Amino acid sequence: MTKWQLDVTSTAGHSSLQCTPEYGACSVLSAARLLDGLTQQVRHYPDITFNPGLMVAGTCLEHQPASARAMAYGKSNVIAAEATVEGDMRFAHPDQVAALQHTFSQLTDAVHALAHATLQFGEIDPAMPDAPRPADPALAGQ
C-alpha cells in the first residue's frame, strides 16, 4: 500500500473566464480529469485498488495531511485556484507501483498548460498477499 497526494493549481479569476485561453480550466476540473484518467489507468492492472479519500478545493485552502483535515475558502463565482486530493493505492506486486507512478506522471504532465499538477507518493508498505482473501462480512454490509 502507498498513500498519494495530488495537488493542482490554476489561475483564480471570475467564473466567466473559466476555460478561456487566458485562464484554462480551474483546479477542480483539472483534478477531476486527472482522477478519472488515473482511475481508467488502474483498471488495466489486476489486483490494484486506487481510492481518493479526501478532496478539498477553492480559492485558497489549508490542508493538514497528518490529521487528514482540510479547510477551503471559495465562492461560486470565482475560479478555484487550488485543489488537493489524497488517497491510497493497494497493489499485489511491488513492480506494479513503479509502472503506475510512471503512468501517473505522464497524466499530470499533460494537464492544461495553465494549470500545474503534482502527484506525490508516500512510503510503500508491503504488497497485498498473492492469494485473494474473502471480504470481511462486516465491511461488505456497509
User: Is residue 138 over pLDDT 60?
Assistant: no
Whose CA is closest to 41, among 91, 84, 104?
104
Query: How high is the pLDDT of residue 125?
Result: 73
Query: How high is the pLDDT of residue 85?
Result: 94
Contacts (Cβ under 8 Å, ≥6 apart) of 109: none
User: Is residue 34 over pLDDT 80?
Assistant: yes
pTM of the model: 0.79
**Cell 454490509, located at residue:** 141
Task: Tell me the β-bridge partners of 72.
Answer: 61
Give dist(CA 80, CA 26) in Å, integer.
5
pLDDT tens sequence across 63-117: 888 888 888 888 999 989 999 999 998 887 777 777 777 887 788 777 767 788 8
The amino acid occupying position 125 is D
User: Is residue 131 over pLDDT 50?
Assistant: no
Read off the pLDDT of each residue in 109-130 and give the average, rounded to a whole number: 74
Q: Residue 15 — pLDDT band, cuts 50, 70, 90? A: confident
Query: How high is the pLDDT of residue 141?
Result: 54
